[in-house]
């Protein structure tokens, strides 16, 4: 696959001039989003967004584009999955007003319109088409090479929405996640109806593998939960910190029953962290859960009480 890079001679890295775009970021004005990417999105980068159906991919991307639009950036959402009317209906529900939308799937057309925009979402990569005759594998290679190259040439960041199979595997080959700069994922935290989503990176060439858990409701994502970025020199390891928190929860006596509010007070943490720690203890048969949502109560199992 040809990404358009020219052959170079070996030279000292100290003699290579780094383009200024590596020091610039597109900022959305949404602190949680900007922190997640590491001070904003890098211009000209190619990013995949993967999640199960109904997990909130479109909502997150539209809210991010709206934030970028409010900061003066030109943003667009090209869909081969939903009509422009359906997208407009979703945008109205989540109060997105400034994003341009279109039903467009042709690879070469999208490369051309990227000259007009700072950030473009392609929904979905699997829906892309071409007037050129080629089989599915050839189309996939052509799409990723053309669009990632166009992103670099135009400094237009491109997001590819990716589909999963029923067993949770990526549809198609692995060429796209291997080629792009960043792989983002959304995962369901807890029970689906609780609306908690963990947004994280599995690959990020230009930053840390940050993550955040957010609440998804009818009006979109609530960005009130900050991204936790650890200082490797000061913060304890995630594994050790979680173990300390588990032990603190299990040391809590009954009555009253263990609740999310009690855990938030005990650990001095937010709702999402308390919920996730309790969920893991339930999965490990240390606690039993009764009820749903914020009013759930938890009790020590016979095993953990011994």
Q: CATH number for the domain including 258?
A: 1.10.10.10
Q: Is 196 inside a domain boundary?
A: yes
**Is a pLDDT exceeding 90 seen at residue 162?**
yes
Residue 300 is part of which domain span? 238-305
Residues 59 and 189: their CA atoms lie apart, in Å, by 17
Position 305 scores a pLDDT of 46
Question: How many distinct structural domains can be found in the chain?
Answer: 2
The answer on pLDDT for 242 being more than 70 is yes
Q: Is residue 40 located within the same domain as residue 172?
A: yes
Q: Is residue 7 part of a domain?
A: no
pTM: 0.75
CATH code at position 46: 3.40.50.300
Is 228 contained in some domain?
no
In a domain, 45, yes or no: yes
Distance of CA 65 to the CA centre of its chain: 13
String of DSSP letters for 127-161: G-B-SS---HHHHHHHHHHHHHHHHHHHT-EEEEE
* Residue 81 near residue 57 (C-beta atoms within 8 A): no
Crossing angle for the helix pair 238-250 and 271-283, to the nearest 10 degrees: 80
What distance in Å separates the CA atoms of residue 166 and residue 171, rounded to the nearest whole number?
A: 10
* Statement to judge: residues 253 and 201 lie in one domain: no
Residues 199, 72 share a domain = yes
Q: Are residues 186 and 270 in the same domain?
A: no
Q: Same structural domain for residues 19 and 86?
A: yes
Same domain, 122 and 188: yes
- The answer to whether residues 250 and 103 belong to one domain is no
| 279 and 211, same domain (yes or no) | no
Residue range 34-91, pLDDT digits in tens: 999 988 999 999 999 999 888 999 999 999 999 999 999 999 999 999 999 999 999 9
Q: Is residue 248 part of a domain?
A: yes
The residue with greater pLDDT, 294 or 186, is 186
HSE-CB at 176 with a 13 A cutoff on CA atoms is 29
Of 165, 195, 222, which marks where a domain is finished?
222
Q: What is the pLDDT of residue 193?
A: 66
- The pLDDT of 127-151, averaged and rounded, is 96
Put the strands of the sheet holding 220-222 in their side by side order.
100-102, 75-79, 119-123, 157-162, 46-50, 182-189, 196-204, 211-217, 220-222
Most trustworthy range by pLDDT among 97-111, 168-182, 183-197: 97-111
Mean pLDDT of 186-194: 77
Instruction: For residues 144 and 255, state if they share a domain.
Output: no
174 and 44: one domain? yes
Tokens 């490797």, located at residue = 232
Backbone phi, psi, residue 165, to 5°: -80, 175
Tokens of 21: 């775009």
Q: Using one digit for the tens of pLDDT, what is the confidence trace for 257-274?
A: 899 889 988 888 878 788
Are 201 and 252 contained in the same domain? Answer: no
The structure tokens listed for 243 are 């173990």
Tell which residue, 238, 210, 198, has the closest CA to residue 38: 210
């Amino acid at each position: 696959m040809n990404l358009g890079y020219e052959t170079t001679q070996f030279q000292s890295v100290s003699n290579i001039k780094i383009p200024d775009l590596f020091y610039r970021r597109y900022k959305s004005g949404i602190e949680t989003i900007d922190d997640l990417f590491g001070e904003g999105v890098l211009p000209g980068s190619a990013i995949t967004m993967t999640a199960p159906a109904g997990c909130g991919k479109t909502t997150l991307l539209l809210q991010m584009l709206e934030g970028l639009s409010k900061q003066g950036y030109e943003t667009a959402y090209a869909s081969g999955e939903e009509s422009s009317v359906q997208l407009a209906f979703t945008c109205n529900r989540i109060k997105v007003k400034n994003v341009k939308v279109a039903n467009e799937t042709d690879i070469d057309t999208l490369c051309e319109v990227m000259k007009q925009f700072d950030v473009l979402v392609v929904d979905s990569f699997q829906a892309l088409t071409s007037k050129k005759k080629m089989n599915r594998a050839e189309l996939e290679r052509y799409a990723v090479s053309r669009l990632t190259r166009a992103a670099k040439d135009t400094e237009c960041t491109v997001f590819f929405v990716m589909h999963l199979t029923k067993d949770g595997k990526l549809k198609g080959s692995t060429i796209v996640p291997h080629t792009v700069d960043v792989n983002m994922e959304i995962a369901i935290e807890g029970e689906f109806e609780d609306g908690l989503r963990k947004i994280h990176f599995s690959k990020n060439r230009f930053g840390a593998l940050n993550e955040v858990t957010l609440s998804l409701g009818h009006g979109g994502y609530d960005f009130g939960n900050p991204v936790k970025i650890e200082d490797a020199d000061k913060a304890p390891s995630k594994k050790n910190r979680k173990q300390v928190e588990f032990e603190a929860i299990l040391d809590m006596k009954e009555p009253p029953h263990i609740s999310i509010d009690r855990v938030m007070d005990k650990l001095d943490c937010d709702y999402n962290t308390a919920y996730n720690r309790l969920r893991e203890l339930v999965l490990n048969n240390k606690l039993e859960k009764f009820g749903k949502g914020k009013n759930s109560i938890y009790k020590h199992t016979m095993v953990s009480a011994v």
